[in-house]
Amino acid sequence: MKKVAFYTLGCKVNQYETEAVSEIFERAGYETVDFEEKADVYVINTCTVTNLSDRKSRQTIRKARKNNKDAIIVVMGCYAQTAPEEVGSIEGVNLVIGTKDRNKIIEYIKQIEDGNRSLNVVGNIMSVREFEELDVDLYKGRTRAYLKIQEGCSQFCTYCIIPYARGPIRSKQPEQVLKEVGKLAEKGFKEIVLTGIHLASYGRDIKNTSLLDIVERIHDIEGIERIRLGSIEPTTVTPEFVEAAAALRKLCPHYHISLQSGCDATLKRMNRKYTAEEYRRAVYMLRESITDVAITTDVMVGFPGETEEEFEETFRFLTDISLAQMHIFRFSPRKGTPAATYENQVDAAVKEERSNRLIELNKKNMLRFRRGFEGRVMPVLFEQEVKGKDGYMEGHTANYIKVICKGEDNLKGEIVNVRLDRASVDYMEGTIV
């Protein structure tokens, strides 16, 4: 039996797509093995959000070649889509496939086996209008199921290469979404995580549907106990949205709302479509209407032209609204984006200092948020054993607090009431009740 190995960089969408492609290989008779093992085919699903992502992708490609010099090496994903010639020139790469036509991957592999040792099938993603169906049936070893329902982005933030990597917005047809969720419910999954490149755009290319509409329809499917949203925009959080969300018992009180900056001048240069005050209103609306809500975000430091005063404005804003968790990124210029050519690029040392300050603020905010739940009993979906801590299991509450406690492996995939005893920055310790 031929063997295939996978390596995924980047976001939850990439993870979903890798899982879907792995099933295509398995249906073709391949055995999936660990990436460290010798395989006949290595598939690297790349990310290109930052320069570091590109570098990690190249390192992983070289590692695959070392594992087996005779293997077929396939590179797909965002880096492959935006720089196909660069990727194709890396020694050992046999197939460059980008972010579409992944369902033809076995056909391409056979062409390579038949003597065409180098194949670049990356096409113009900007002309694609149909959502590529890549269903996942098996979800090996998972306790929550990620479901990609949206593709592409039309926001064109000045720092972001993703619209060029993923193309225009496309939505999975509602009937297909419901069909796939139904299958997942039958397999015993209790939590569905809806993902997309720009999830808030779901339904804009389909008549009579929206993100909220599809959530409401999933809500009616028996067996599904939690629906979690991927990243949404502050402009999504309207009074109507909050009222509807508050009424949906299964919708997790956890909203990842991208911010990037708390300074209006910086937001304008980024071509973000909201102000800091509009973001603040979205946060307060959710907190007023949804019990125990957790709001998480992304913040970028060192965007071109970000002065010390602008950064301090962001710092004060984030201190004031005190979110449950922040992911801090340093600006990385991406070739082909407007921001890469902007004047007043920020020095790397300044970016590091600003990043470190926000990381420390994030630790304080996370600890403050979690301490607010000490002594509470909350349902936890157990996901896996804790590495290096025998006899302990870990999982998450509906509002995405990581919890560890003593428990057996048979708890995996189950939702169990846990008393949350002690908070730390990384997790809360609890006791099953």
| DSSP notation for 251-289 | B-SEEEE--B-S-HHHHHHHT-SS-HHHHHHHHHHHHHH
**Cα(355)–Cα(347) distance, rounded to whole angstroms?**
12
Q: Could you tell me which residues come within 8 angstroms of residue 296 by beta carbon, excluding any fewer than 6 positions away?
A: 254, 255, 256, 257, 323, 324, 325, 326, 327, 400
Q: Count the neighbouring beta carbons within 10 Å of the beta carbon of residue 262.
A: 26
Query: Which fold does the domain 3-123 belong to in CATH?
Result: Rossmann fold (3.40.50)
Q: What is the CA radius of gyration of the chain?
A: 22
According to the model, what pLDDT value does residue 153 have?
96
| Mean pLDDT, rounded, for 172-178 | 97
DSSP letter, residue 241: H
Residue 221 has phi, psi (to 5 degrees) of -80, 120
State the average pLDDT over residues 99-128: 92
- Examine domains 125-232 and 259-371 and report if their fold is the same: yes
DSSP assignment of 55-87 equals HHHHHHHHHHHHH-TTSEEEEEEHHHHH-HHHH
Task: Give the mean pLDDT of 80-100.
Answer: 94
* Region at 202 (left for phi over 0; alpha for psi -120 to 50; beta for the rest): beta
Mean pLDDT, residues 31-39 taken together: 95
> Distance of CA 179 to CAs 281, 295, 379, Å?
36, 30, 27
Residue 140 has pLDDT above 70, yes or no: no
Distances (CA, A) of 374 to 287, 293, 311, 382, 402: 19, 15, 33, 19, 13
Instruction: Please state, as a whole number, how many other Cβ atoms lie within 10 Å of the Cβ of residue 392.
Output: 14
Domain at 125-232: CATH code: 3.30.750.210
Domain boundaries defined on the chain: 3-123, 125-232, 259-371, 377-432
Q: What is the DSSP string of 336-390?
A: TSGGGG-SSPPPHHHHHHHHHHHHHHHHHHHHHHHHTTTT-EEEEEEEEEPTT-T
SS3 state of residue 22: helix
**pLDDT one-digit tens code per residue, 147-173:** 999 999 999 999 999 999 999 999 999
Q: CA-CA distance, 412 to 257, in Å (whole number)?
A: 29
Tokens of 195: 């993902």
CATH architecture of 377-432: Beta Barrel (2.40)
Q: What's the pTM value of the predicted model, to 2 decimals?
A: 0.92
Q: Of 3.30.590.20, 3.20.20.150, 3.10.20.30, 3.30.750.200, which CATH number belongs to 259-371?
A: 3.30.750.200
Average pLDDT over residues 232-243: 96
Residue 141: its pLDDT value, please? 63
Q: Is the pLDDT of residue 409 over 80?
A: no
pLDDT of residue 139: 67
For residues 315 and 360, give the distance between their C-alpha atoms in angstroms, rounded to a whole number. 11
- DSSP 8-state symbol, 163: H
- State the pLDDT at residue 365: 97
Rounded Cα distance, 138 and 105, in Å = 19
